[in-house]
A and B are shown apart, each in its own frame.
Chain A
């Protein structure tokens, strides 16, 4: 009877099935769960009857109810509380027009990313950056863009369960309160709460209430990619933890010690923008900052470097010591730096000193504390503190060493000191270091409850599971990288029977009936005073953040006294490095198909992780891409495919976290291998002495690009800034053929007398971070295709970021070039379509008429840029009920057999045109912003009317370093590129040696 709906059984079934069938069967399962919920709440007296073993009649009833419910789920009303739209009041809802609400997403180390959520008739479909907040300035990163899909994920945890059986919030609260009450006698000594990093002031205050009720209870914050090292480094330098904010807009010289600051970490979007702003080149202004990148594995930020040096993590510490010593910091320089080219340290030090107060030394979170402390000392010595480097109190309300705390918890659990364990969001069973034996230890806790978005690895070992609301369904607050308080407003009522962490923690202290809205609002009304609070609250919700709450600058002085002396290099052999995955981060995004299919910024790998090694190491170990190796360390081992990564440091193996999930959902389960299985809590980011043994070969890795050599073609045009200063025309001259003769045709050219839309991509700003790719996917209803289809070259993303290597194999320059439909004025695709399904419009757009397309694919064959995408199979999932809500209603969902491609976000152009017509005016410059342009953290994409000489895009196109790709074919592309420049240090490289030369 009831066991037909056994959740563990379903979970098991989910784990066992694969492929297409898997999708369908799970969909059924998901709906059945929803149905149970429906039955239980609506018809308790009829529930048993309906849950009888499946007869045909019951089956039909069940299906009918499931369908009805599925329909309801897709049109949840807007929340009952008053939420404030960003632009217009709710009564102004115009069907077909989206409304934007300010909200914020908790991301790296709990720091929030301020966003605007786009709501179509009560359905959030996309997010944009919040232009008013300094952390975003209107841009986002790939994770924020992809977060919408997670909300609609049909695999989310949907209903409260106890030991796999359906339950309710009130029974859960009762059970939890019962357990807690039993702990009162010993002051809650057996109570442990695990969360991820919490920056929310209101939640921290709730936790303090809990801890005052249970003084002996412990609240542990843990996420695997944490800032423990940064914290310990700060403690080492200043005696206390601080949050470091960098002002890249003032930095002329930057030394990054393995910090991928432009892509990841709090403030990533702002840092990317500020960094790129210092690299915007025009004929008039050729000033440019300079980045020295010392890193183990090529990163998006590393592709922007003017000088890049691959070093193993251990060597980076030595490098930091040498540089610090050179800068006059009181530390001992290492005797030898075999891997660092002669003169580097001195040249960098001189460059930094010359730009004292206008430079930054930044250390990556993977670096040991000593490197962080040295970076602080170097910034201090250079006079950067207070200028380019600002310190504040830490963002999190309760700064702890997360790994230490987790290890202590594992010990406590092992020794039976934990009776009640509440886990909110964290997934330590999956992502705790292997030596904590978390999965074994957690079983020793009598009462375990988990609140989370998914029924994940940790949830599977917990008796109680409470679905957590997605941030787009929650009231929440948090701190952005600068400490300013952001407010998260829900855009939709929770789709499932979910609650927020606020409600969970409040329930622990007997406030189970409180709504998340009240909990957040009441905290702030207490905090800010009742006087005029209503107005302030309205304004803050509208803005997405509470004004003037950024943390105050803190004055600290760095000391090097506590920095331990350099340890003698322990052992030799390969160094194993762990890195967060650029798409999966720590694994939390595993069930997000957009991110799974998002190519790695440089290697372009999708759907799995690899063990990457440098070409020289591959040669030495006789390994090649596609070999399967067993990585063995301290008695533990995992099997991983090898990827040979040009530009990686020699004698290192880099593996990324976030894969090898066993209970992620239909999309993410069983992909790749889990790096956590090798991680030890005493050395989280790198260890020396790892062994690789080849066990197999010929494994196929799904990369969206297989050829990284430009073959001498001038696709990405690059040079030194010095060269550009001397000869601004040199980019234009990098061609193989003479310029295409525009007068070859006997026919007069088309006149575009209204608007002429065009785009410019600044390669000097683009770091290949992928935000545009996901933004495009979200805006344009682009499906994912799965690993098998990526393997055969059928990925659907409209933007692909081409990656090219140039120069020596061991440390090549890596270029990123976003490539999407170029909207050629003489489009080769249009000529060959036999049914006129791709045509030109009056404004010069190459438009695709999906309804007319019969799918000959001739257009794609004739496209020299190969930017067209074809629905070889029925990729657009048209049946999953919950996914329908995510779709942008302004964009057609394409069926099988239809060609598609970048439209320059035609729907946005149309929207602006309608508005302009209503107001009887022309579309203004900046009114049409394509999805990729809006998302781009570095503002590398310009879009607008090229007929307007004053538009930003026209000005860019007039630059001497503006060029079109393959213009010698006479395609006259509307998209053009601004060349990429390097600003090498004259002391390290003769700037007059233009290796690229004239074509």
Chain B
């Protein structure tokens, strides 16, 4: 199958691997990032920033555990604040990885090869960041395990009608499958690293992780079958996770939550923000490690198209929501829509419209899609927009619901912000540790791709 060649002009103009690479050069270039004793300054800077932010995160968590969730700006009626907003945001970001590695793998999109490993790792770390929030946001976080179905002396299961119980399954399954999928893909490369490493300690570690991979035909055969199967298993998860996350809101009866458009609209939004995050991260990393020949403008062009498409689906979601709010005739829904645009949080809503609806329209133009400065800024704008979208859904809906007597505003405290910004630190630290210690581009798949480019099969 050579699906990747249908758009010939594009491939010629922007190949997925720049010409001049051999199997050896690919292997060396990628593994050198890890095995090279010298750490680029860019890495030190990024990792250092991440560490500082991570420190802030840890302090915020310690303070939170010491005093309770009251350190945040949440109240009655706004029971969920930044923690849930940011949880949904990170989960959304995590979507790009599985989509790239599983769905695009099944669709044989060759351009995914040079970014899938990285995107999968990003997914994993985004899920870590996301997965911590539901625990942190509990009033009594030390009892988080009560949400898990485990045999206990109470004789109690979780309450399975609650979307939060579904969340536990959705997110943990997603996290597990992503990790297994990512690790399975890593095995042949870990073996390559073992072979290239000079230091006995490294040889030992990589050797252990490679689990005895020798590259025999039987190994390859099994590996490819497993990989395909995992891709098939992971594919529905791309849709299911964010669908379930959207149920947290959709099964509630709060105006602004209670809407059936949420599952597709959340999934599209997730992919939208996930790809934006991949773009945000790849641009500097590509620069730091001089990977311009492997992560080419073609990638950015394609990712720009995905962002544009999903952005349009998200826009459709907004419009549907507003339309149904009016068409449904419920005064609560109607009030909600009005409150979004003229209420106290209107600047957030207009910010969101700019970020998610207006700005992505630039991606209709190929010169802009392949202009990395534009893409970088745009990706940041989109991720801000997606955070604002969750803010709008979670918080604005809660501030003014059925009984006007209980309406109240949410005002974030410094601890809200520190935990949000700190979680970015956690993400950066994990990501740059990955970049430094594991091959961030799949060597064997790149070699396979090179083979395909050269031999046409």
A residues touching B (Cβ–Cβ < 8 Å)?
Answer: 705-713, 715, 736-737, 789, 792-794, 800, 802-804, 817, 819, 828, 831-836, 852-858, 860-862, 864-866, 868-874, 895-899, 965-966, 969
Q: A707-B404, A872-B68 are in contact. Are A858 and B162 (CB under 8 A)?
A: yes
CB–CB A871/B139 < 8 A? yes
How far apart are B409's CB and chain A's nearest CB, in angstroms? Answer: 8
Q: Is there an interface contact between A793 and B139, defined as CB atoms closer than 8 Å?
A: no
List of A residues within 8 angstroms of B70 by Cβ: 789, 794, 872-873, 896
Separation in Å of the B250 CB from the closest CB of chain A?
A: 11
* A712, A857, A861, A869: residue with the most chain B Cβ atoms closer than 10 Å: A861
Residues in chain B near residue A708, CB distance under 8 A: 404-405
Supply 18 further A-B pairs (C-beta < 8 A) apart from A792-B411, A834-B158, A861-B398. Answer: A713-B403, A736-B330, A789-B70, A793-B76, A800-B406, A804-B405, A854-B143, A855-B69, A857-B74, A858-B164, A862-B254, A865-B406, A866-B76, A866-B77, A872-B75, A874-B68, A897-B139, A966-B402
Provide the residues of chain A in CB contact with B407, threshold 8 Å.
706-707
B254 to chain A minimum Cβ distance, whole angstroms, is: 6
Query: Are A864 and B402 in contact, CB atoms less than 8 angstroms apart?
Result: yes
Smallest CB-CB A-B distances: 8 pairs: A855-B139, A897-B139, A872-B70, A857-B79, A793-B75, A873-B70, A802-B405, A866-B406
List 8 interface pairs A-B (beta carbons < 8 Å), by A numbering: A713-B403, A792-B411, A803-B405, A835-B156, A836-B156, A858-B252, A862-B252, A869-B76
Contact pick for B164, options A800, A856, A898, CB 8 Å: A856
Q: Does B55 contact A (CB under 8 A)?
A: no
Interface residues as binary, B289-306 with A (CB distance below 8 Å gives 1, 0 otherwise): 000000000000000000
Residues of A within 8 A of B141 (CB): 854, 897
Q: Which residues of A contact B157 (CB under 8 A)?
A: 836
Tell me whether B76 and A794 are in contact (CB under 8 A). Answer: yes
Shortest Cβ distance from B344 into chain A, in angstroms?
A: 11
Nearest CB of A to B196, in Å: 48
Whether the pair A713, B404 counts as a contact (CB closer than 8 A) is yes
B322 on the A face (CB < 8 A)? no
Closest to A832 in B: B162
* A897 vs B168: C-alpha distance when bound (angstroms): 20
Residues in B neighbouring A804, C-beta threshold 8 A: 404-405
Question: Nearest CB to that of B331 among chain A residues?
Answer: A736
Complex Cα distance A789/B408, Å?
Answer: 13
Cα of A965 to Cα of B163 in the assembled complex, Å: 26
* A9–B297 alpha-carbon span in the complex (Å): 76
B350 within 8 A of A: no
Closest to B134 in A: A856
Residue of A nearest to B69 (CB): A872
B138 touches A856 (CB 8 A): yes
In B251-270, the 8 Å CB interface with A consists of 251-254
A836 to B331, CA, bound (A): 32
- Out of B139, B140, B331, which one reaches A712, CB within 8 Å? B331
Interface of B: prevailing SS = loop
Q: Return A129 CB to nearest CB of chain B, in Å.
A: 28
Give the nearest-CB partner of B400 in chain A. A707
Closest Cβ of chain B to A87, distance in Å, is: 39
Interface assignment of B146: CB less than 8 Å from any CB of chain A: yes
How far is B168's CA from A872's CA once the two chains are assembled, in angstroms?
Answer: 23
Closest to A874 in B: B68
Interface status of B340 (Cβ within 8 A of chain A) = no
The residue in A706, A710, A800, A862 that gathers the most chain B C-beta atoms within 10 A of its C-beta is: A862
A551, B79: Cα distance in complex, Å: 56
Given contact pairs A712-B331, A832-B252, A835-B146, A793 touches B159 in the complex (Cβ within 8 A): no
Partner among A802, A852, A854, A868 whose Cβ is within 8 Å of the Cβ of B403 = A802
A474 to B331, CA, bound (A): 57
The winner among B75, B163, B167, B168 for most chain A CB atoms within 10 A is: B75
> Please, how many angstroms separate the alpha-carbon atoms of A17 and B73 in the complex?
25
Find chain A residues with CB under 8 A from B167 CB. Answer: 834
A969's nearest neighbour on chain B, judged by CB, is B253
- A858 to B248: give the CA distance in the assembly, Å: 9
Interface pair B402/A834, CB less than 8 Å apart: no
Query: Contacts A712-B331, A835-B158, A873-B67 known; A854 to B404 CB distance under 8 Å?
Result: no
Please report which residues of chain B, range 57-91, place their CB below 8 angstroms from some CB of chain A when the two chains form the complex.
Answer: 67-71, 73-80
Q: Which B residues lie within 8 Å of A869 (CB)?
A: 76
Cβ contact within 8 Å between B139 and A870: yes
Docked complex Cα distance between A862 and B255 (Å):
10
The answer, yes or no, to whether B161 is at the interface (CB within 8 Å) is yes
Determine the chain A residues whose CB is within 8 A of the CB of B137 once the complex forms. Answer: 856
Are B162's CB and A710's CB within 8 A?
A: no
A302 to B77, CA, bound (A): 30
B335: interface (CB < 8 Å)? yes
| B189 within 8 A of partner (CB) | no
Nearest opposing residue in chain B for A872, CB measure: B70
A834-B140 in contact given A736-B331, A802-B405 (Cβ < 8 Å): no
CA gap between A860 and B75 in the complex, in Å: 10
Q: Does B144 contact A (CB under 8 A)?
A: yes
- Is the pair B161, A831 in contact by a Cβ cutoff of 8 Å? yes
Q: In angstroms, how far is the closest chain B Cβ from the Cβ of A799?
A: 12
Distance, CA A835 to CA B167, complexed state (A): 13
B401 part of interface (Cβ distance < 8 Å): yes
Residues of A within 8 A of B69 (CB): 855, 872, 897
Contacts A834-B147, A865-B402 given; indicate if A792 touches B138 (C-beta within 8 A).
Answer: no
Q: Is B165 in contact with chain A by the CB < 8 A criterion?
A: yes
**In contact, B75 and A834 (Cβ under 8 angstroms):** no
User: Would A832 and B404 count as touching, CB distance under 8 A?
Assistant: no
CA distance A869 to B68 in the complex (A): 15
Residue in B68, B156, B253, B330 whose CB lies within 8 Å of A862: B253
Complex interface: chain A residues within 8 A of B77 (CB): 793, 860-861, 866
- Which of chain A's residues have a CB closer than 8 A to the CB of B78? 793
Chain A residues with CB under 8 Å of B79's CB are 857-858, 860-861, 870
Q: Check if B403 sits within 8 Å of A857, measured CB to CB.
A: no
Among A709, A737, A857, which residue has its beta carbon within 8 angstroms of that of B404? A709
Q: Are B76 and A868 in contact (CB under 8 A)?
A: yes
Q: From A855, which residue of chain B is reached at the shortest CB distance?
A: B139
Alpha-carbon gap, A553 to B315, bound state (A): 79
Nearest-neighbour CB distance to chain A for B30, whole angstroms, equals 43
Q: Which residues of A sit under 8 angstroms from B253, Cβ to Cβ?
A: 828, 862, 864, 969
Name the residue among B69, B154, B157 with the largest chain A CB count within 10 angstroms.
Answer: B69
Can you list, as one digit per residue, whether each of B324-343 has a CB less than 8 Å from chain A (1) or not (0)? 00000011000100000000
Partner of B140, one of A854, A858, A862, A868: A854
Interface centre among B67, B71, B335, B405 (most CB of A within 10 A): B405
Q: Judge whether B75 and A792 touch: CB under 8 Å.
A: yes
Pick the contact of A861 from B71, B146, B254 — CB < 8 Å? Answer: B254
On chain A, the residues within 8 Å of B158 by CB distance are 834-836
- Whose C-beta in chain A lies nearest to the C-beta of B157? A836
| A832 and B163 form a contact (CB under 8 A) | yes
- CB of B401 within 8 A of CB of A896, answer no
Name the residue on A nearest B146 (C-beta): A835
Query: In the assembled complex, which residues on chain B have CB atoms less than 8 Å from the CB atom of A803?
Result: 405
- Given the complex of chains A and B, what is the CA–CA distance between A715 and B407 in angstroms? 14
User: Are A833 and B162 in contact, CB atoms less than 8 angstroms apart?
Assistant: yes
Taken together as a complex, chains A and B put the C-alpha atoms of A869 and B406 apart, in Å, by: 12
Q: Are A897 and B403 in touch, CB under 8 angstroms?
A: no
A299 to B167, CA, bound (A): 49
A828 to B146, CA, bound (A): 21
Q: Are A898 and B75 in contact (CB under 8 A)?
A: no
B residues in contact with A853, CB < 8 Å: 139-140
Closest chain B residue, CB of each to CB of A792 = B75
CA distance A832 to B161 in the complex (A): 7
B248's nearest neighbour on chain A, judged by CB, is: A858
**Nearest A-chain residue to B159, judged by Cβ:** A836
Give the CA-CA distance A705 to B405 in the complex, in Å.
6
Q: Which residue of A lies closest to B335 (CB)?
A: A711
CB distance from B389 to the nearest CB of A (A): 18
Per the bound structure, the CA–CA distance linking A866 and B79 in Å amounts to 10
Residue ID in chain A nearest B144 by CB atoms: A854
A172 to B126, CA, bound (A): 73
Instruction: Give Cα distance in the complex from A831 to B400, angstroms.
Output: 21
